[in-house]
Structure 1
Amino acid sequence: MSRIERFEDIKSWQLAKALVKNIYELTGQASFSKDYSLRDQIQRAAVSIMSNIAEGFERGSKKDFVNFLYIARGSCAEVRSLLYVAFELGYINEDKFKEALQQTEEIAKAIFGFIRYLKSNTL
């Protein structure tokens, strides 16, 4: 693994950034227009993933970073759960649901792999 100098270099942050874009596009659809609560919650949870990765990295300690990565992973699970709600309510179609769900699974795996790496190595 090459040296990470900025949080923008972290693969899981990059994946989370793409998810945020996707979530904002999905929630910008007319089907979400009146469900402000769900729309805002899923947007905040998606942004929380990338924000916690960034904040943890900038803390400067491996222990803090790992803790923030666990929080980011929890936010990823929150997005995944909220996607089920959006799908069940008919706000998103099955293809968009599966695509976003796959993104959250990929991010969760990347974060967990990074946590394992950090626990066994130094930055």
Structure 2
Amino acid sequence: MTKSFTEFEVYQKSLLLAKEIFVLMNNPAFEREYGFKDQIKRAVVSISNNIAEGSEYNNNKQFIRFLRHSKGSCAEVRSMLILSNQLNLCSQQDTIKPIELSIEISKNLSKFIEYLKSRV
């Protein structure tokens, strides 16, 4: 890969998702849920960090492995958003955009993985 990870659209979208999650976690309902709040923040940051780290190996097999970790973190974030609704920590309306964005990122990661697999 000759591109910098910062140029990947999926990386840029993952930063948007992280921003959405960090804003949502400022909701007072999450104040007492430190473990929950910490976990979802770590999971969302993991998405972009794994894209960045994997790209630096200059090895498609390694990069694919890190992109798969990013996909897993996307699912973790989505699961925690769903749970936050069920625990009445936030409204469903608050989580629609981040859930949709996490699905979009996950799909983009899948396409990126398939592209890289064809180049291994």
Task: State the one-letter code of the partner of 2:24.
Answer: L
Contact between 1:20 and 1:43, CA under 8 Å: does it hold in 2? yes
Question: CA-to-partner distance for each residue in 1:82-117, whole Å, 9 max, x for gaps?
Answer: 111111111121112111110110000000000011
1:73 aligned onto 2:67: no
Classify the secondary structure of the residue corresponding to 1:22. Answer: helix
1:11 Cα deviation after fit: 1.2
**2:96 equivalent among 89, 98, 102:** 98
TM-score (norm 1): 0.93
Task: State the one-letter code of the partner of 1:61.
Answer: N
Contact between 1:4 and 1:10, CA under 8 Å: does it hold in 2? no
Identical amino acids, percent of aligned pairs: 38
Q: Distance in 2 between matches of 1:121 and 1:14?
A: 23
Question: CA-to-partner distance for each residue in 1:50-84, whole Å, 9 max, x for gaps?
Answer: 00000000111111000000010001100011111
Structure 2 match to 1:109? 107
Q: Distance in 2 between matches of 1:26 and 1:84?
A: 13
Report the aligned-residue RMSD.
1.2
1:121 Cα deviation after fit: 3.0
Q: Distance in 2 between matches of 1:47 and 1:4?
A: 24
Contact between 2:44 and 2:77, CA under 8 Å: does it hold in 1? yes
Worse overlay, 93-102 or 37-46: 93-102
Contact between 2:60 and 2:119, CA under 8 Å: does it hold in 1? no
TM-score (norm 2): 0.95
Unpaired runs of 5+ residues, structure 2, are none
Structure 2 match to 1:28? 26
Q: Distance in 2 between matches of 1:4 and 1:86?
A: 40
Unpaired runs of 5+ residues, structure 1, are none
Number of equivalent positions: 120
Q: Distance in 1 between matches of 2:37 and 2:117?
A: 35
1:48 aligned onto 2:46: yes
